[in-house]
Structure 1
């Protein structure tokens, strides 16, 4: 891999860590506590106190934020309407977004999901 690609890959993971950390700070349960990769799995159901992954996916999509509904470990809901969502940071990193942008994005996601 080229030095530029290594830098890009490192930024993707750094962005994911910040996004996960900020979502956690805002009260969302991050499955596994955080991330060491480009993906974040968020428990949006929170034992019935939140919303299903399907509902979260639809609300975020209406706002132009694309995520995938996703099952979580110990899933009790249908895979068609699971308890979580999966977020990635590659697309936003490709657009030049950095850690400060991930904080803003996390706050936007939180506002949409709680709104």
Structure 2
């Protein structure tokens, strides 16, 4: 991924991606919570050979159905990947900025008009 993460399978052929977080030095449990605070929903998930317990994990699972249902396109998904990276690596200093970017992106594709 351009954002700095590795996808477990090197890519994806469907709507789910399993992201290895070890490069970002954050656990799935911690990142899931931080992303929830900036309004991005993911699930912590184990990765092959995971050194963390299944209750902590070294990965997250990211799905695209909610985003594509709203009308997000590939470029928007790249932005989301960058926001996930920022959350993983700079949450303490950038949480408000990330939350604002998420709100701006969601406003671009409202659920109802």
How many Å separate the matches in 2 of 1:45 and 1:80? 16
Write out the 4+ residue segments of structure 1 that deviate beyond 2 Å after TM superposition.
none
Alignment of 1:32 with 2:9, yes or no, is yes
SS class of match (1:94): helix
Structure with the bigger RCO (C-alpha within 8 Å, sep 6+) is 1
SS class of match (1:41): strand
Instruction: Give the alignment partner of residue 27 of structure 2, picking from 24, 45, 52.
Output: 52
Shift of 1:114: 0.9
Q: 1:112: which partner in 2?
A: 87
SS class of match (1:25): coil
How many Å separate the matches in 2 of 1:112 and 1:71? 19
Give the unaligned 5+ runs of structure 1.
1-23
Instruction: Give the alignment partner of residue 85 of structure 1, picking from 43, 46, 60.
Output: 60
Give the unaligned 5+ runs of structure 2.
91-113
How many Å separate the matches in 1 of 2:8 and 2:36? 21
Q: 1:43: which partner in 2?
A: 20
Shift of 1:26: 2.2
**Aligned partners of 1:45 and 1:53 also within 8 Å:** no
How many Å separate the matches in 2 of 1:98 and 1:26? 17
Alignment of 1:67 with 2:30, yes or no, is no
Shift of 1:79: 0.3
